[in-house]
Amino acid sequence: MVGIDVNVSTYNTEINSWKIVLHGLNWLLFGRGPATSPYPHAVAFIRSAPSEPRPDIQVQLGPYAFSFSEEGVIPYDRPAISAAINVSHPRSRGSIRLRSADPDAPPVISHALLDDDDMGRLIAGCRQVREILNGPAFAPYRIGERLPGPEVQSGDDWRDYLRRTAFLGYHPVGTCKMGTDRLAVTRSDLTVRGVDGLRVADASVMPSLTSGNTNATAMMIGERAADFIRQGQPEGRRNDKGEDEPW
């Protein structure tokens, strides 16, 4: 994340005080004010390098900024704006595992931002956004750089900063991926291999990330599942040994 302190009011001063009550009432009664919109007010897709054939970085800019602590992400207490930078197609692969046989126990989740290629793209995207926020367009409003801070310059500086502050982009996919290989959980008709009468109809069936947010894709996966069910689509194929096909 990259951000700057500014000399105008932002969400940091509007929703972290008694004003949040007024903004809530303004939204409820009149449909106006800060409560009518989410964090990102602008989204851009950029290339981490001119040689990239298509944009590989997503940037979300909003009138809000965070601070980072050992307890996690917390709201910043002064006016600021920030941009979240995401690698659209990361090579890194995290994992989600059962903690125990207790179904109520939280799973063990590792995001694993370990791939050097991902880190290089992320640093390149952050540097581009830093240049924009420190450019002439923001000069009338900019007080100074908030994140990562002017002391972060070298590649090692960026890697250290990102490993300390990177957080989830809320678009995980692939935990029940669709496919024909042995790691595939679901078939192309969204049925679960080895389980009768069960379909998965959310972003977890996507084998890989889309370039943008996953919401629209997840909605269409749900529509497709509804089509299969309405049409009485057979639930997968099995051979004479009762095994799923194809593997």
Q: What are phi and psi of 191, to 5 degrees?
A: -80, 150
Residue 221 contacts residue 203 (beta carbons within 8 Å): yes
Out of 23, 89, 111, 171, the active site residue is 171
* DSSP-assigned beta bridge partners for residue 62: 82
- 171 assigned to active site: yes
Q: Which residue blocks in 31-174 are alpha helix, DSSP H?
A: 116-133, 155-165
Number of H helices, E strands in the chain: 5, 11
Question: How many residues make up the chain in this entry?
Answer: 247
Q: What are phi and psi of 91, to 5 degrees?
A: -85, -25
Residue 25 contacts residue 36 (beta carbons within 8 Å): no
Q: Dihedral of CA 122/127/128/132: which sign?
A: positive
Catalytic residue numbers read 171
